[in-house]
């Protein structure tokens, strides 16, 4: 279905109908009263939770914080069932949000934005889609996701495989029947660690191909009690406010204690207790310097290694699973249910492809240096071209026809992760250089959407036609993002945060590691200083302050 939009003019075009695009649409249309359309490649809302339907898919953020906070009634009326929300439940939640705010009428599904060109003469964005749409918009806003472009490794012979294959990030809606099948999973990141235990229960045989052993913490998943939900709902406003100013988009009480100030016995007991709490609480409930001090970090890494050796019965398999190439926390922390226990099953084998790499995919399966593994199904849990992948798949051109992809050839360059110099009136929700993937994302997304909305309102009421990030403010911000990253553990591992998972991708740490609260403060200061770091062009000779802002916050 295509809406006839030839030369149609809108105030704003938004790309993507996940958390970001949905909330942006609500703000543009229902708060600012602007005309707006969302283009979404999928056939429904949900973004991540629309695409990632692999077995075991669920969120690592706890359900009571993985949700919108902007509408009090919405927060009160929705009831989560699990401690961590599972993919179908998050998708139901986002469908509920879209119905509640009547969002679908301004979302055009099954439509991929292919081009967005800034027309200097008109000061408009010209947007084209794979459905033939052609729209002019004053504002071009991306909500295209940090983890929305799947990465399928270019392994020799991949196309010769005669069985079925799937990528976790683009899972068939009807599901996959693993019964009686020999299944291979390539990849042991978050998606692999979640799907492997579930596939192992369903398949006749599972072969896991692991390149880098990981640290994974038990999730301690379960249902949430009505008492817990009542308690949370009773003080939701306080919880949300703490989350907004927290480091990681959720607030757990921090324990100020060094792993180096206690003796071995005490340390072990503290780690054991934190391990019982599980999930991200393992970090918050143990020691405050695991992420900052390498010697403290070593104690956490060693504790997890010991847990793996305790859990996995076969010592050879256990040693393959023990992480030794990077410290704990230098990659995205993994959270699991029965991940290590799965390797005690008779129908599961672990193949170490770091030491015996995959040479090719054959018609019958996967061949490593050591032999061929016959498979009926291959699951690629191989991750994403993160943070820049979705941008690079749109031909985005700014002032003078410069391509964003070209500008970012040595790594993404953005001011606050919200705008890029040379690309006026383009805003990016969770763009590179913002906290995004280093946080629980709904509060981070809300902060961006609200900041952008406020800026658009300011522009309108101040007769500002064009806002563009200043190149020197942008350069300073990029330096700042790099400086902060250099003080973290993140530099000590190859990861998608650094683009290291994509051959040829510039090795640059992309998210902002200074924390959401600090970042929010900086964004507010920029706004309070009249959008410092932006070049604002007014075409109204009367100048500024011609209308009152409609937004009060």
- Long-range interactions of 392-396: CB distance < 8 A, separation 24+: 393/149, 394/15, 394/113, 394/114, 394/115, 394/116, 394/144, 395/114, 395/115, 395/116, 395/117, 396/115, 396/116, 396/117, 396/423, 396/426
Between the alpha carbon of residue 12 and those of residues 34, 36, 37, 38, the distances in Å are 7, 5, 7, 9
Q: Is 46 in the site for ligand N01 (CB under 6 A)?
A: no
Q: Can residue 62 be called a binding residue for ligand N01 (CB under 6 A)?
A: no
What span, in angstroms and rounded, lies between the C-alpha atoms of 80 and 379? 29
Q: Does 153 bind ligand N01 (CB under 6 A)?
A: yes
Among 358, 394, 438, 510, binds ligand FAD (CB under 6 A): 394
CB 490 within 8 A of CB 330: yes
Q: 500-539 mask for ligand N01 (x: CB under 6 A)?
A: -x--------------------------------------
Span of 30-38, 226-234, 376-384, 477-485 interacting with ligand N01 by CB under 6 A: 376-384
Question: Considering the rule CB under 6 A, would residue 21 count as an interface residue with ligand FAD?
Answer: yes
Beta carbons of 40 and 142 less than 8 angstroms apart: no
Contact positions with ligand N01 (CB under 6 A) in 199-218: 211-212
Helix/strand/coil for 282: helix
Among 140, 328, 496, 512, which residue interacts with ligand N01 (rule: CB under 6 A)?
496
Q: Please state, in angstroms and rounded to a whole number, the distance separating the CA atoms of residues 284 and 247.
A: 12
Pattern 107-126, ligand FAD, x by CB under 6 A: -----xx-------------
Q: Is 18 in the site for ligand FAD (CB under 6 A)?
A: yes
Size of the site for ligand FAD (CB under 6 A): 35
191 lines the binding site for ligand N01 (CB under 6 A): yes
The 432-451 contact track toward ligand N01, x by CB under 6 A, reads -----x--------------
**Least distance from C-beta 28 to ligand FAD, angstroms?**
15
Closest CA to 141 of 27, 298, 297, 268: 27
Q: Which of 101-109, 139-147, 229-237, 409-417 is the region at the interface with ligand FAD (rule: CB under 6 A)?
A: 139-147
Distances (CA, A) of 539 to 339, 411, 465, 466, 532: 60, 34, 6, 9, 19
- Answer yes or no whether residue 384 interacts with ligand N01 by CB under 6 A: yes
Sign of CA dihedral 548, 549, 551, 553: negative
Stretch that binds ligand FAD, among 144-152, 256-264, 415-423, 477-485 (CB under 6 A): 144-152
Which position among 144, 300, 348, 381 is part of the footprint of ligand N01 (CB under 6 A)?
381
Report, in Å, the least distance between residue 224 CB and ligand FAD.
16
**Contact partner at residue 69 from ligand FAD, ligand N01, none, CB < 5 to 8 Å by partner kind:** none
447 binds ligand FAD per the rule CB under 6 A: no
Give the Cα separation of 516 and 243 in Å (integer). 9
What are the strands of the beta sheet with 348-352, ordered from one edge? Answer: 164-167, 377-380, 182-186, 205-210, 348-352
In this structure, are strands 358-361 and 348-352 parallel, antiparallel, or unpaired? unpaired
How far apart (Å, rounded) are the C-alpha atoms in residues 126 and 134?
A: 7
Positions that interact with ligand FAD (CB under 6 A): 15-21, 39-42, 47-48, 50, 52, 57, 59-61, 66, 112-113, 143-145, 147-148, 191, 390, 394, 429-430, 440-441, 445
Positions that interact with ligand N01 (CB under 6 A): 58-60, 147, 153, 168, 186-192, 194, 211-212, 332, 353, 381-384, 437, 496, 501
């Amino acid at each position: 279905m295509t809406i006839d939009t030839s030369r149609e003019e809108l105030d704003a075009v938004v790309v993507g109908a996940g958390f970001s695009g949905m909330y942006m649409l609500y703000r543009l249309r229902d708060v600012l009263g602007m005309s707006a359309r969302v283009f979404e490649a999928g056939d429904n809302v949900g973004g991540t939770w629309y695409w990632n339907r692999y077995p075991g898919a669920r969120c690592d953020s706890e359900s009571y914080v993985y949700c919108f906070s902007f509408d009090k009634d919405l927060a009160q009326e929705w009831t989560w069932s699990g401690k961590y929300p599972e993919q179908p439940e998050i998708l139901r939640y986002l469908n509920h949000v879209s119905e509640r705010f009547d969002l679908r009428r301004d979302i055009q599904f099954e439509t991929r934005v292919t081009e967005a060109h800034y027309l200097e003469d008109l000061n408009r964005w010209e947007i084209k889609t794979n459905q033939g749409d052609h729209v002019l918009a004053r504002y071009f806003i991306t909500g295209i996701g940090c983890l929305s472009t799947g990465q399928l490794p270019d392994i020799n012979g991949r196309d010769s495989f005669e069985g079925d294959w799937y990528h976790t990030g683009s899972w068939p809606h009807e599901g996959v029947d693993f019964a009686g099948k020999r299944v291979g999973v390539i990849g042991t990141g978050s998606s692999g660690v979640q799907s492997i235990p579930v596939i192992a229960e369903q398949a006749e045989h599972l072969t896991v191909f692991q390149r880098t052993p990981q640290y994974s913490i038990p999730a301690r998943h379960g249902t949430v009690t009505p008492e817990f939900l009542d308690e949370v709902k009773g003080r939701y406003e306080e919880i949300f406010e703490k989350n907004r100013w927290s480091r990681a988009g959720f607030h757990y009480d921090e324990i100020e204690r060094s792993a180096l100030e206690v003796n071995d016995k005490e340390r072990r007991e503290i780690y054991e207790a934190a391990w019982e709490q599980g999930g991200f609480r393992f970090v918050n409930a143990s020691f405050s310097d695991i992420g900052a001090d390498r010697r403290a970090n070593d104690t956490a890494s060693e504790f997890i290694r010991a847990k793996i050796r305790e859990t996995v019965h076969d010592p050879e398999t256990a040693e393959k699973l023990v992480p030794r190439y990077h410290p704990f926390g230098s990659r995205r922390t993994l959270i699991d249910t029965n991940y290590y226990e799965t390797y005690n099953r008779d129908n599961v084998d672990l193949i170490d492809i770091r030491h015996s790499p995959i040479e090719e995919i054959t018609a019958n399966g996967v061949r490593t240096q050591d032999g061929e593994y016959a498979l009926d199904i291959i699951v690629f849990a191989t991750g994403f071209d993160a943070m820049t992948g979705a941008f690079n798949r749109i031909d985005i051109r700014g002032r003078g026809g410069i391509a964003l992809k070209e500008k970012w050839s040595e790594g993404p360059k953005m001011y606050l992760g919200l705008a890029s110099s040379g690309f006026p009136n383009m805003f990016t929700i969770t763009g590179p250089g913002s906290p995004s993937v280093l946080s629980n994302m709904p509060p981070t997304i809300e902060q961006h959407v609200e900041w952008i909305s406020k800026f658009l309102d300011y522009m309108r009421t101040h007769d500002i036609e064009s806002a563009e990030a200043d190149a020197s403010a942008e350069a300073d911000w990029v330096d700042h993002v790099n400086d902060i990253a250099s003080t973290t553990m993140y530099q000590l591992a190859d990861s998608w945060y650094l683009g290291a998972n994509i051959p040829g991708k510039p090795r640059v740490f992309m998210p902002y590691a200074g924390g959401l609260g600090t970042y929010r403060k900086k964004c507010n200061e920029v706004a309070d200083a009249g959008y410092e770091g932006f070049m604002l062009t007014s075409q109204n000779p009367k100048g500024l302050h011609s209308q009152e802002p409609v937004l009060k916050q």
